[in-house]
Amino acid sequence: MQGVLAPVLTPFDSQLNPDPGRFVSFCRKLLDDGCTGLVPFGTTGEANSLSVEERERLLDALLEGGVPAEKLIPGTGCAALPDTVRLSKKAARAGCAGVLVLPPFYYKNPSEEGLYRSFAQAIDKTGEGRLRLYLYHIPQVSQVGIPLRLIERLLKAYPGVVTGIKDSSLELENARAMLRAFPGFEVFVGTEKFLVATLREGGAGCITAIANVNAPAISRAFRERTEERQREIDAVRVVFEKLPMIAALKETVARRTGDARWRAVRPPLVELSPAERATLKEM
């Protein structure tokens, strides 16, 4: 897997239930817009506001709706190990390209050994030879990081299974360190701001929230890998970084589709305020 992947927004209905039909339609559009693949149930998709059963139903809807399993890397990392195993097993059996797994994020400051055992148990208990696991490093949100020494241990213990990482640390040097330390390890940066820089060092691409609204331009930057294309996509990202990201993305989709239901987010998130909406419109 290489290229631009979208961590897909999750649409809700008026009762704040996930809407499978709109979800499938949106995923198919993202692929048409140039995304190499999709990462449902990530941070942008409000995954940790979804139940295990809701994630399973949405994955079933994607597969039944004709979205190719090989284009999907569902987020399966949960605070509870059995939930991670359940979701990972379902994704692997469906033929998904991989799963994106957070570290256990409730207990803070875990030891390296504790983190290693968590990922190892998730792999062993999933028990699927088709499993391909992508680590999810987003310490500013999870408050639990994935250090290089842990990656090294996992790669040695599970070659061919631990495949890559989404590095959302927002630190370019961290991505570079992984690329230099682990040749062949698929490093996806979590922001397109680092896209061209990491591609030049062997990066696999990016998994970026902004692909929900700017996939064609980011995909073009992936193909052409020029500073000009990088500046173009940077200018769009700056707009959204000034606002609550998920709510601003959903506001944009609502405006483009004419479907106000896209504004819905699950608590504790809230939709944009009138002032924030006006700011987004001005930008």
Question: What average pLDDT score do residues 80-107 get?
Answer: 97
| CATH code of the domain in which 29 resides | 3.20.20.70
- The answer to whether the CB of 123 falls within 8 A of the CB of 131 is yes
Q: Is the pTM of this model over 0.75?
A: yes
* Tokens standing for residue 15: 């009762």
The pLDDT-based confidence of 64 (bands split at 50, 70, 90) is very high
Q: What distance in Å separates the CA atoms of residue 130 and residue 89, rounded to the nearest whole number?
A: 9
- The answer to whether the CB of 110 falls within 8 A of the CB of 104 is yes
Quote the pLDDT of residue 55: 98
pLDDT at 218 over 80: yes
Give ∠ CA 240-246-248 in degrees, rounded to 5.
45
Higher-confidence residue of 128 and 81: namely 81
Q: Among residues of the chain, what percentage have pLDDT more than 70?
A: 99
Positions marked active-site: 43, 106, 136, 166
CA distances from 5 to 74, 100, 192, 205, 206 (A): 11, 12, 10, 8, 6
**Enclosing domain of residue 175:** 3-282
pLDDT at 283 over 70: no
Quote the pLDDT of residue 102: 98
- Count: domains in the chain: 1
Residue type, 54: E
Quote the pLDDT of residue 281: 79
Q: What is the pLDDT of residues 156-175, one digit of tens each?
A: 999 999 999 999 999 999 99
Q: Is 85 helix (H, G, I), strand (E, B) or coil?
A: helix
Quote the pLDDT of residue 1: 87
Neighbour-count burial of 80, counting CB atoms closer than 10 A to its CB (0-12 exposed, 13-18 middle, 19+ buried): exposed
Quote the pLDDT of residue 282: 64
Q: Is 18 helix (H, G, I), strand (E, B) or coil?
A: strand
